[in-house]
A and B are shown apart, each in its own frame.
Chain A
Amino acid sequence: MKPAPFEYAAPETIEEALELLDEDALVLAGGQSLVPLLNLRLSRPARLVDVNRIHELATLKRSDGSLSIGATVRQATLERSPVVRHGWPLLAQAVRYVGHAAIRSRGTVGGSAAHADPNAELPVALTALNARFHLRGPRGARVVEDFFTGPLETALAPGELLTAIELPPLPADSRTAFAEYAPTHGSFASAGVAVVRAPGHAAIALLGTGSHPIRAAKAEEALREGHARDAAELAASEIAHPHRRALVAALAREAFDATAPPTR
């Protein structure tokens, strides 16, 4: 099908974009989730505000040890970035599961976050990495840590734009892993586990709640103390759905094995 008619605007500054973002408008970034919804007429916005021509949103840069991912940085850019591979390897491990190459060419990291699909990989990786979300709205700028609030729901208020995602540096000697189960390569995952593990540190984020990604706090505590088997069971206990719970247990064991400290 073809989309219902809409007005299209491609502003070149954040300020212009905010002026255009009224209640009947939607932000268009990579379009890999939004355009299917338009084509199926499940979404019928009066106006699309295409943010791809706002240059300052397209930068991926490291400064003061943190990584700043502009809202329109492509998934393919993450995949190819040596800075990401060396500094935040979990992102590189997760992004290769996002759709297919042709999706990642256009799809953006900010778009994946703002769309907040319960079965998407990048929100889970960002949750394990203590991401901070930079928002701009008619009433100014703010930074949010608890960005994901429900299935397809985020902390974005009407009229607000996600401008960048900031990731703090990983602890020294971190090992990371992303494990997921999807029916076929490139389709949305049924369950997944993202892990960052370092001496005295464990971060575990789960995909499979049916809602937004969560941190498995009890499992993190067990993993910090070196009890990987218990940690996998504790992570699984966070998931209500029986099949997904079993998948999370298996995926957590796989991810914890992959991040086990080297034996000397």
Chain B
Amino acid sequence: MRVALLINGVPHAGDVDPRTSLADFIRERGLTGTKVGCEQGACGACTVQLDGDPVRSCLTLAVQADGTSIRTIEGLAGEDPHPLQTAFHEAHALQCGFCTAGILMTLDAFLRDHPDPTEQETKEALAGNLCRCTGYEGMLRAVARLRPNV
């Protein structure tokens, strides 16, 4: 089936088997920053934004995303790193990095709706993204660095 969508503002189209996940469609276009972990919606590594909302790209079929606008980790930074990326770097919020793309796409959407979150709100926002390296402390520090009054 024919699928045509925008990824980070760039049109992409292709003929896909209906069972192709959005995650695989994105990665097959050479955009391999989006990681595929569990393929059952548990780990959050494949989180991208679909028309602005965070979604699990392993639980969305590519055919369902026809006509939508997708944003991936490759579309997060402009000329300079995104402030979240800088904060993650400064606060040592990642180690192996496999979960990081999904976490940044999750937090970017979360912070748009909650510009000054409490630590508890940030923890709840991160609960859907598994990280087995860091223990999340660095991520909480990174988000705290971005608070408007700090």
* A2 to B18 Cα, complex, angstroms: 11
Q: Is the CB of B59 within 8 A of A186?
A: no
- In the complex, which of the residues B19, B59, B106 contacts A2, with contact meaning CB atoms closer than 8 Å? B19
Q: Knowing A8-B18, A35-B41, A39-B39 touch, does A101 contact B59 (C-beta < 8 A)?
A: no
* A40 to B18 Cα, complex, angstroms: 16
Does B77 have its Cβ within 8 Å of any Cβ on chain A?
no
Does A36 have its Cβ within 8 Å of any Cβ on chain B?
yes
- In the complex, which of the residues A1, A32, A102 contacts B54, with contact meaning CB atoms closer than 8 Å? A102
A contact residues around B18 at 8 Å (CB): 5-8, 48
The B109-147 residues at the A interface (CB cut-off 8 A) are 109-110, 123-125, 127-129
B contact residues around A76 at 8 Å (CB): 53
- In the complex, which of the residues A31, A48, A185 contacts B60, with contact meaning CB atoms closer than 8 Å? A31
Q: Is the CB of A185 within 8 A of B19?
A: no
What 1/0 mask marks residues of chain B from 42 to 59 whose CB sits below 8 Å from any chain A CB? 001001001001111011
What 1/0 mask marks residues of chain A from 17 to 29 whose CB sits below 8 Å from any chain B CB? 0000000000010
**Smallest CB-CB separation from B125: which chain A residue?**
A101
- In the complex, which of the residues B17, B53, B55 contacts A5, with contact meaning CB atoms closer than 8 Å? B17
Q: Is the CB of A186 within 8 A of B106?
A: no
Does A100 have its Cβ within 8 Å of any Cβ on chain B?
yes
* A100 to B129 Cα, complex, angstroms: 9
The A154-206 residues at the B interface (CB cut-off 8 A) are 184-186
* A201 to B83 Cα, complex, angstroms: 51
Q: How many residues of B contact A (CB 8 A)?
A: 30
What 1/0 mask marks residues of chain A from 42 to 55 whose CB sits below 8 Å from any chain B CB? 00000010101000
Does B1 have its Cβ within 8 Å of any Cβ on chain A?
yes
- In the complex, which of the residues B59, B123, B129 contacts A35, with contact meaning CB atoms closer than 8 Å? B59
Does A14 have its Cβ within 8 Å of any Cβ on chain B?
no
What 1/0 mask marks residues of chain B from 15 to 39 whose CB sits below 8 Å from any chain A CB? 0011101000000000000000001
Q: How many residues of A contact B (CB 8 A)?
A: 31
Q: Is the CB of A99 within 8 A of B128?
A: yes
Does B76 have its Cβ within 8 Å of any Cβ on chain A?
no
Q: Is the CB of B19 within 8 A of A103?
A: no
Could you tell me the distance in whole angstroms from the C-beta of B19 to the nearest C-beta in chain A?
4
Does A58 have its Cβ within 8 Å of any Cβ on chain B?
no
Could you tell me the distance in whole angstroms from the C-beta of A34 to the nearest C-beta in chain B?
9
**Smallest CB-CB separation from A106: which chain B residue?**
B55
Q: Is the CB of A8 within 8 A of B127?
A: no
Could you tell me the distance in whole angstroms from the C-beta of A120 to the nearest C-beta in chain B?
14
Does A143 have its Cβ within 8 Å of any Cβ on chain B?
no
Could you tell me the distance in whole angstroms from the C-beta of B122 to the nearest C-beta in chain A?
12
A contact residues around B19 at 8 Å (CB): 2-6, 38
- In the complex, which of the residues B17, B21, B56, B124 contacts A102, with contact meaning CB atoms closer than 8 Å? B56
Q: Is the CB of B56 within 8 A of A106?
A: yes
Does A66 have its Cβ within 8 Å of any Cβ on chain B?
no
Could you tell me the distance in whole angstroms from the C-beta of A255 to the nearest C-beta in chain B?
20
- In the complex, which of the residues A2, A39, A102 contacts B55, with contact meaning CB atoms closer than 8 Å? A102
- In the complex, which of the residues A1, A5, A50 contacts B64, with contact meaning CB atoms closer than 8 Å? A50
Closest 5 CB pairs of A and B: A100-B128, A8-B18, A105-B53, A36-B40, A102-B54
Given contacts A35-B60, A102-B53, A184-B127, 13 further A-B contacts (CB under 8 A): A5-B18, A10-B64, A32-B56, A32-B59, A48-B18, A50-B61, A50-B63, A50-B64, A101-B109, A101-B128, A105-B50, A105-B53, A105-B54
- What residues make up the interface of A, taking CB atoms closer than 8 Å to B? 1-8, 10, 28, 31-32, 35-36, 38-40, 48, 50, 52, 76, 99-103, 105-106, 184-186
Q: List 17 A-B contacts (CB under 8 A).
A: A1-B39, A6-B19, A28-B64, A31-B59, A32-B41, A39-B39, A39-B58, A52-B64, A100-B125, A100-B127, A100-B129, A101-B110, A103-B56, A105-B54, A106-B50, A106-B55, A106-B59
